[in-house]
């Protein structure tokens, strides 16, 4: 088992009605003024924003608002948020939404607290934020796990780049998780969330590391529970049990727990960030579903035993020891069928990606042929191009 540091300082308030505590929770930080950051009109239409405002007003907390976060949060809105925070002397950022809103809120908090640094340099890894504003989140979508992760992913629409960075400044002080707030999430976005949640742990599962049977058992439970909950949520959107398990899985899948003792690189996420960076309207979970099976078929021979464990423990397959590849390929096929059953794409063509763009994607993913993605099978430019080509059509 590899050495590791495990840190998850975010305090979680989970369950029905917990969002009504937000005023008292924010008040503990004695803020001068709060930025309420959100996405589309759904937070307004549902009445959630009104409840948040009322809770803050009951504690005599001043606030300003900034909406408009899109599926792949944009640098331009982050810069607008930073300017607003500086103008209004904001010292607490409250994200009301899903992973995109939370990532945008993190970047705003980092940028506002480090005015002498260019916030995009954090994403480019040219700089690291030295401090941040206090921040919290009220989840309205179970997907990204940003509420308990140290990561932040932002899209620069001017350059078509989607970049992520990790640091302790990206940690939320608290996260409020009421599964009832996800009842109105449509089937497509629910499915995208299920894919993203499971993928955060699936990819960790296939990172190098040995003798991690406790971590493996936790990971397998998260993966299977997410897959069940995702399908149950689509069948019955008001199923509290399913929504609750999916929301908690979102936090567990991306808080570092399922990688303890293993190395860390979400390779398929790197592939997908390039895709949705070039095609911002593509939902992250849909892009992952379109790519994962091709990546899996390309790399599995590098560690047959690990993939057999996955086939047996996650998909409950009997292992054919004489023909192990048959067992593994069946497991990949089963996962592909699961995506189809969820209503997710299984190739890039379904997402209207142009075949002429595949080479550019490989160039960007390999950072102009200079980057190799680590793993049991290392992936350079030629490998990336082969995987993009495999993933283009079924």
Q: What domains appear along the chain, each with residue ranges and CATH number? A: 11-181 (3.40.50.1970), 187-392 (1.20.1090.10)
Tell me which residues of the chain have a pLDDT lower than 70.
none
Q: What is the pTM of this model?
A: 0.95
**In whole angstroms, what is the distance from residue 238 CA to residue 184 CA?**
8
State pLDDT tens for residues 5-17: 999 999 999 999 9
pLDDT, position 138: 98
Under 8 Å between Cβ of 381 and 361: no
Closest CA to 176 of 16, 299, 57: 16
> How do the residues of the chain divide into helix, strand and coil, expressed in percent and rounded to 5?
55, 10, 35
157: which 2 tokens?
A: 């629409």
Query: Residue 393's pLDDT is what?
Result: 93
* pLDDT score, position 394: 79
Q: Give the span between the Cα atoms of 67 and 146, in whole angstroms.
A: 18
Residue 264: closest CA among 186, 208, 305: 208
Per DSSP bridges, beta strands 34-38 and 92-97 are parallel
| pLDDT score of 43 | 87
What is the C-alpha separation between 376 and 291, in angstroms, rounded? 18
Between the alpha carbon of residue 287 and those of residues 49, 125, 184, 282, the distances in Å are: 30, 24, 22, 7
Per-residue pLDDT at 207: 96
Instruction: Identify the pLDDT of residue 40.
Output: 81
């Amino acid at each position: 088992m590899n050495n590791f540091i495990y840190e998850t300082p975010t305090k979680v308030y989970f369950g029905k009605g917990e969002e009504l505590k937000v005023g008292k929770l924010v008040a503990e930080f004695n803020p001068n003024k709060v930025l309420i950051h959100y996405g589309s009109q759904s937070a307004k239409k549902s009445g959630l924003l009104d409840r948040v405002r009322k809770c803050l007003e009951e504690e005599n907390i001043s606030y300003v608002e900034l909406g408009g976060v899109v599926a792949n949060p944009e640098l331009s809105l982050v810069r607008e948020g930073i300017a607003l925070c500086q103008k209004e002397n904001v010292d607490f950022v409250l994200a009301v939404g899903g992973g995109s809103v939370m990532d945008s809120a993190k970047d705003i908090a980092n940028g506002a607290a480090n005015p002498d640094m260019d916030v995009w340099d954090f994403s480019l890894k040219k700089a690291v934020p030295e401090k941040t504003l206090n921040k919290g989140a009220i989840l309205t979508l179970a997907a990204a796990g940003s509420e308990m992760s140290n990561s932040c992913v932002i899209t620069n629409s001017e350059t078509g780049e989607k970049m992520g960075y990790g640091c302790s400044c990206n940690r939320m002080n608290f996260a409020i998780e009421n599964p009832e707030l996800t009842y109105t999430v449509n089937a497509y976005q629910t499915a995208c969330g299920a894919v993203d949640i499971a993928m955060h742990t699936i990819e960790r599962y296939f990172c190098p590391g040995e003798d991690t049977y406790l971590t493996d058992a936790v990971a397998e439970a998260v993966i299977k529970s997410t897959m069940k909950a995702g399908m149950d949520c689509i069948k019955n959107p008001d199923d509290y049990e399913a929504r609750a398990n999916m929301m908690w899985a979102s936090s567990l899948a991306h808080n570092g727990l399922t990688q303890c003792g293993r190395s860390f690189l979400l390779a398929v996420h790197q592939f997908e960030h390039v895709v949705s960076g070039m095609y911002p309207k593509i939902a992250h979970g849909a892009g992952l579903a379109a790519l994962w099976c091709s990546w899996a078929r390309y790399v599995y021979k590098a560690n047959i035993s690990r993939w057999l464990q996955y086939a047996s423990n996650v998909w409950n397959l009997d292992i054919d020891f004489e023909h192990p590849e048959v067992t593994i390929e069946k497991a990949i096929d089963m996962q592909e069928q699961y995506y189809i059953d969820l209503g997710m794409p299984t190739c890039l063509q379904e997402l209207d990606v142009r075949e002429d763009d595949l080479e550019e994607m490989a160039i960007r993913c390999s950072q102009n042929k200079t980057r190799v993605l680590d793993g049991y099978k290392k992936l350079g430019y030629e490998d990336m191009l082969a995987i993009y080509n495999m993933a283009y059509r079924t």
